[in-house]
Structure 1
Amino acid sequence: MASIFSRIVTGEIPAHKIAETDDYLAFLDVFPIVRGHTLVIPKKEIDYLFDLDDELYVGLMRFARQIAPAIEKAVPCKRIGVSVIGLEVPHAHIHLIPMNSMADMNFNHKLKTTPEELADVAAQIRSFL
């Protein structure tokens, strides 16, 4: 069965997309830990980040590096944190998280957001790409 991220890639499940190429997709986490929390994935479904071949892995990091400055401009912060957990969805992904302190990387805390708020944040981030 396809992962939820693969279903987002195919359009079966809607997402607040930030950017997309033939091989990669960035979209907002629907259960963000902070405003602007973005997921970056390869479109090819591979469970574990370190199972990606070199080209896909490096491409994913390059793609994330293009997205991070736009997030930082849309959601003022000290830096964009990067986290790879990978246990919650069996599809390689990285989290880009606006940070002002280490507390902003607390995955046990989720924001309550509305679809309208997520759409607004996504539009703000896209405006800086």
Structure 2
Amino acid sequence: MSSIFSKIIKGEIPCYKVAEDDNFLAFLDVNPNTEGHTLCIPKVEVDKIFDLDEEQYLGLMQFSRKVALAIGKTVSCNRVGMSVIGLEVPHAHVHLVPINEMDDMRFVSKVKMTKEGFENLAAAINSNL
């Protein structure tokens, strides 16, 4: 069964795309902890991150690093936190969250953004890749 992320990869569901290559996709989380909260996913549909083969896993980490560096250049923050939880969507993914304090990584407080805000932020992060 296709996950929501597989539908995003296929273009069946829109996203605020930050970066993409042949194997991976990064897009803004539509229910972000902070502005710039981005998801990095492999295009191959695998439920658990450690079920990726070693090449895919390392590729996802390299891709996520590249995106995190661009987020750090775009969004004012102390650092970009990374989390792998994987319970909410059965498709391996990495959360990159611009953080200023530990609570920014708790996934309980969310920020509201407009469609235009998402679009502008995605384009700004992409321009810093």
User: TM-score scaled to structure 1, two decimals?
Assistant: 0.97
User: What residue identity is the alignment partner of 2:24?
Assistant: Y
Alignment match, 1:99 = 99
Shift of 1:49: 0.4
Shift of 1:35: 0.3
Alignment match, 1:87 = 87
Alignment match, 1:30 = 30
Alignment match, 1:120 = 120
- The secondary structure found in structure 2 opposite 1:19 is strand
1:12-56 CA distances to partner (integer Å, 9 max, x unpaired)?
000000110110000000000100000000000100001100000
Shift of 1:113: 1.6
Distance 1:57 1:128 in 2: 24
Q: 2:69 matched to 1:72?
A: no
- The secondary structure found in structure 2 opposite 1:95 is strand
Shift of 1:127: 1.3
- Over 4 Å off, 4+ runs: none
User: What residue identity is the alignment partner of 1:7?
Assistant: K
Structure 2 residue ranges without an equivalent (≥5): none
Alignment match, 1:11 = 11
* Percent identity of paired positions between Structure 1 and Structure 2: 60
Distance 1:33 1:115 in 2: 16
Alignment match, 2:58 = 58
RMSD: 0.7
Distance 1:114 1:45 in 2: 29
User: What residue identity is the alignment partner of 2:110?
Assistant: K
Distance 1:114 1:11 in 2: 21
Distance 1:111 1:47 in 2: 27
Count, aligned residues:
129
Structure 1 residue ranges without an equivalent (≥5): none
User: TM-score scaled to structure 2, two decimals?
Assistant: 0.97
